[in-house]
Structure 1
C-alpha cells in the first residue's frame, strides 16, 4: 500500500512539473510561442489554487478512499487527453486540485498511528523524487520521441497506482 501511495505522489509531482521540461517541444508541435506554453504552467497553478478549497469542501462527506480512487482515474484520463491534444486550446490543467487534500488523510487512515510518520516521510520522498528523477526522465523521453509520449506514460503510472 505504501508503494502505491508513493507511486501516486511521484506521478502527481511529475505530471505537475513535466511541462516545464517539455516547453519547447510542445511549442514547436502546437505552433505557439514558448511563453504561451509557459502560461499553461501558470494557469495550472492558478487553477489548483482556485479550485482546491471549493472541491475539497464539495467532497467533504464522500469517503476519502472513493475521492482518491476517482481522482486517480480522472488524472489518468486527463493525462491521456493532454497527450492526444492537437491544439493549444485543448491543453488544460485538469483534476489535480484535490490530490494532496485527499492523499494525506487517506494515507493517515490506512495505517496505524505508530507508522504514520514514516508513511508521510515516504510520500515526501516520492514527491521530491519526481523533481530529480521524473522530470529529467520525462524530458529525455520527450526529446527522444515527442512530448506526448511522457505525458501518455503518466497515464500508465496513474493506472499502476
Structure 2
C-alpha cells in the first residue's frame, strides 16, 4: 500500500479522512468520558469526587508534559503503523478498566491512554492534510477536527448514558470496542505515510523566537485550562447545586 494519488476524487478518496475523523471521535470521547461519570466512579471506588477528579487532572498533565518528548521519540516512525499501534494500546487500556477496582488501577489505565493521546494529536493533523483528496486539505483537516468536536457534543452524553445503563466500567469497555473497529477501518483505508518533516528538539529555539507561535501557545494554555477547570466537575455541580 502506498500514498494515494493526489488526483483521485470521489468517496474512496475521502475514506482515509473518514477513518481519521472516527479516530478523533473515539479519542476525544474517551478523554471526556470521566467528566460525565465522575460521581458514579467516585461512588464505586469509595472515593471522594475531588479525589476521583484527579483521573482527569493527571490525564491532562501527562498529555501536556509528554506530548513533546513522545512526539520527538516517534518522529521517524511510519505514521500508519504508529497510529495502528496507538489504537491497539488505547483499546487495551480501556479493557483493563474492567478490572480497575481501585483508584490506583484506574489511574494507571488512564495514564496509559494519556500516553497514546499525547502522540495521537501530534500526528493527526498532518495526516489529515496529507491524506485528504487533492486540493481539499483544509476541508480534510476540518473534517477530522469535526470528529473531535462531535465527541464533545455527543460522545460525552452518550458515554454518560451508557455508564448509567451498563456501569461506568462498561462504558469504557464499549469505547475500547469502538477503538478496535476504528483500528480495522484505519488498517484498510489509510495508506502508508512515511514520516516527513516531523521536527526535532533542535528546532524548538527557532519556534520560540516567533511571537505569533508563542502567542498561540499561551492562548491555547489559557483556553484549555479555563475549559477544564469548569468542565471537569460539571456533573457534581449540576447534581449537587443545580439539582439536575
Provide TM-score, normalisation by structure 1.
0.95
Shift of 1:78: 0.9
Residues 64, 105 of structure 1: 8 Å contact kept: no
**Pairing of 1:65-80 with structure 2 (within 5 A):** 65-80=80-95
Larger Rg: 2
Shift of 1:119: 1.0
Whole-angstrom CA distance in 1 between matches of 2:65 and 2:24 = 21
User: How well do the aligned residues superpose, as a CA RMSD in angstroms?
Assistant: 1.2
Q: Deviations for 1:82-129, whole angstroms, at most 9, x for unmatched residues?
A: 233111101132221111101122222223441111111111211111
**Which residue number corresponds to residue 154 of structure 1?**
175
Whole-angstrom CA distance in 1 between matches of 2:17 and 2:98 = 28
**Which residue number corresponds to residue 24 of structure 1?**
39
**Which residue number corresponds to residue 15 of structure 1?**
30
Whole-angstrom CA distance in 2 between matches of 1:75 and 1:50 = 18
Q: Give SS of 2:135's match.
A: helix
Residues 85, 91 of structure 1: 8 Å contact kept: yes
Residues 10, 134 of structure 1: 8 Å contact kept: yes
Give the length in aligned residue pairs.
161
What are the ranges of 5 or more consecutive residues in structure 1 without an aligned counterpart? Answer: none
Whole-angstrom CA distance in 1 between matches of 2:148 and 2:17 = 13
Shift of 1:25: 0.7
Residues 10, 126 of structure 1: 8 Å contact kept: yes
Q: Give SS of 1:32's match.
A: coil
| One of 158, 170, 194 as aligned partner of 1:137 | 158
| Higher relative contact order (Cα pairs below 8 Å, separated by 6+ residues) | 1
Whole-angstrom CA distance in 1 between matches of 2:95 and 2:140 = 29
**Which residue number corresponds to residue 70 of structure 2?**
55
Provide TM-score, normalisation by structure 2.
0.63
**Which residue number corresponds to residue 91 of structure 1?**
106
Q: Give SS of 1:97's match.
A: helix
**Which residue number corresponds to residue 122 of structure 1?**
143
Residues 65, 106 of structure 1: 8 Å contact kept: no
